[in-house]
Structure 1
Amino acid sequence: MANTFIYSPPTEPWLDILYQDKDIVVVNKPSGLLTNPGRAPELADSLFSRIKAQFTLAQLVHRLDLSTSGVVVFALRRKAERELKHQFAERLVKKRYLAVVAGHLTTEQGHIDLPLTVDGGNEPRQKVCEQTGKAALTHYRVLKQLQHASLLELLPVTGRSHQLRVHMLALGHPILGDAFYAPAPVLTAAPRLLLHAASLQIQHPYSGKTLEFSAGTDFISASGLLNWPAEQFNC
């Protein structure tokens, strides 16, 4: 799949800024745009590159996967960078995601506590591994049952690479449009990965005030999910 990947990031809007002050800037990242530049010249365009062009002192604090959309915060001063990175490292940041997954869950809410590690030889894929994996915990809640899929709220406690995608796969309900983990029918059932970082709660790095930023997504209505035939969701 890596051989056929062509990076074509969206350009409209160029930057969707949700909030800005002298210390931080918060942006709604579209699906298909890298959070930070890749090594190859053709991967130079990224959310961070666009932010740096407008805010020269901006610093990267955390990342979203290429295909994941939603809220990303950048620091605009060094002290803000240190404080925000501390909050992420100490799990003081509260993150809320929305996802559309294949099938209907048997429980309305629960948690997934499965350790994750890199899938050696298949990077950047991750896998569940009880022996060498790092602790990973995700809480989930069903928000709506669609015809052959479910809209979920996902609350990750830890922040492992691909955590939500691998945890939902392990639960037997891969995320629609997931090019790394979904079987072919679930991959092709959506035009993009249906995973969105809907809100992010932090403590302001200077005032200490609790701030929560939210970004909407139209991936359910825009994809025509309710009209897709049942056979597309057969895993």
Structure 2
Amino acid sequence: MTQMNLLHIDDDIIIINKQSGLLSVPGRYIKDSAVSRLAERYGDILVIHRLDQDTSGILVFARNKAALTGVQQQFEKQTTRKVYEAVVLGRVKGNMGCINMPIIVDWPNRPLQMISHTDGRYALTRWNKMAEEDGNTRIELHPKTGRSHQLRLHMQQIGHPIVGDTLYAGAGAELEPRLKLHARELDFRHPVSGELFEIVCQPDF
């Protein structure tokens, strides 16, 4: 489908590869979104999870309430497996690491999030270095939790914001064509059949 690569569809779920720049759901001022485009073609679409507008990659929607509940519970119980791929600024030291920093919304500066060790919600990200590229680093990100802007904020906090991140990377980020963050892999069980889905969708950067 136009600008949304359809990865899987059946009577219960739809899986797409969302492009960077497309909202997952309609916003206050922008109505065009992944869910609205799908609804035009397939009828009622129920939102299971979301990706930031600037993040590309695997996104799953439900086509009925039973499927919605079945997949949402897997996200809530953290039984899904999620892998993101990103390019971050600078050369990251070491080959792997773990970032455990609680996150809360930065109310005066919404939609920005911030770290708060007193009021923030638990947020954990593990990372593995893949390669160094032109002075930057390509990494895999394994979020244990799914807080808003978690990966973007966590990488900024360790001094390596994601390339093209206009919210957290500072000066020059807007010169990049896109945020280099992609939801590459997602494992979960089909809400009706129980079949294990191991979806892989490689980034285009």
Provide the residue aligned with 1:86 in structure 2. Answer: 73
Return the offset for 1:188.
4.2
Letter in 2 for 1:160: R
In the alignment, structure 1 residue 212 sits paired with structure 2 residue 201: no
8 A Cα contact 1:176 1:189, kept in partner: no
Return the offset for 1:78.
1.2
Q: 1:37-80 CA distances to partner (integer Å, 9 max, x unpaired)?
A: 0122xx11100001111121321110000000000001112100
Return the offset for 1:190.
2.3
Q: 1:103-151 CA distances to partner (integer Å, 9 max, x unpaired)?
A: 1111110110000001120001001110000000000000011121000
TM-score, normalised on structure 1? 0.84
Provide the residue aligned with 1:22 in structure 2. Answer: 11
TM-score, normalised on structure 2? 0.97
In the alignment, structure 1 residue 201 sits paired with structure 2 residue 187: yes
Q: Quick one: distance in 1 between partners of 2:49 and 2:198?
A: 16
Q: Quick one: distance in 1 between partners of 2:186 and 2:39?
A: 21
How many residue pairs end up in the alignment? 205
Larger Rg over CA atoms = 1
Q: Quick one: distance in 2 between partners of 1:196 and 1:111?
A: 19
Provide the residue aligned with 2:39 in structure 1. Answer: 52
In the alignment, structure 1 residue 169 sits paired with structure 2 residue 156: yes
Report runs of 4+ in structure 1 exceeding 2 Å deviation: 12-15
Classify the secondary structure of the residue corresponding to 1:184: coil
Determine which structure has the larger strand proportion and give its number: 2
Unaligned stretches of 5+ residues in structure 2:
none
1:182-193 matches, cutoff 5 A: 182-185=169-172, 187-188=173-174, 190-193=176-179
8 A Cα contact 1:143 1:151, kept in partner: yes
Percent identity for Structure 1 against Structure 2: 41
